[in-house]
Amino acid sequence: MAREFLKPAGLNAAAAASGYGPAARSNDLVFISGQTARNAEGRTVGIGDAEAQAVQVYENIKTVVEAAGGTLADVILLRTYLTDRAHRQAHGAVRRRYFPGPDFPCSTLLIVAGLADPDFLLEVEAVAHIAKK
């Protein structure tokens, strides 16, 4: 099975340069690494604000999916990590903006003790099915 590693423009370039792989494609599946609230300049967006961070996270996922030739409708799995159950409502409201249904991606939600940066309130990884052209 051939693998292709994706490093789309518009994501945190500093992280990509340090060995972080934002996504990998294997045939028609695109595996998207956990996305956080870092913008393209590498700054954390929305410190202390779960809604603002969720928007940045889903914008990052959208950037990767579109760079792979798809849309958010191609996302088939989301795995979400929250640092506090209190962030669930804000995250859920933002997620519904990006995935309005009626067909929702499969999903898992985990509450964790912390993420790679203490300013991160959430992280989301995804899998998309995007037919190669």
H helices within 45-106, ranges in order? 50-67, 88-98
Query: What's the rounded Cα separation, in Å, for the pair 120 and 98?
Result: 20
For position 19, what pLDDT does the model report?
60
**Residue 42 DSSP class:** S
CA 115 to chain centre: 14
User: What total of structural domains would you count in the chain?
Assistant: 1
Instruction: Band the pLDDT of 6: cuts 50, 70, 90.
Output: confident
What is the 3-state composition of the chain as percent helix, strand, coil, each rounded to the nearest 5? 30, 30, 40
Q: Domain containing 67 — which CATH number?
A: 3.30.1330.40
**Mean pLDDT on 30-51:** 95
**Mean pLDDT on 46-69:** 97
Q: How many CA atoms lie within 13 A of 94 on its CB side?
A: 20
> 45 pLDDT exceeds 80?
yes
> 2 pLDDT exceeds 90?
no
> 77 pLDDT exceeds 90?
yes
CA distances from 31 to 14, 26, 70, 112 (A): 20, 8, 13, 21
> 20 pLDDT exceeds 80?
no
Q: Which domain holds residue 72?
A: 3-129
**Mean pLDDT on 77-101:** 97
Structure pTM? Answer: 0.93
For position 5, what pLDDT does the model report?
80
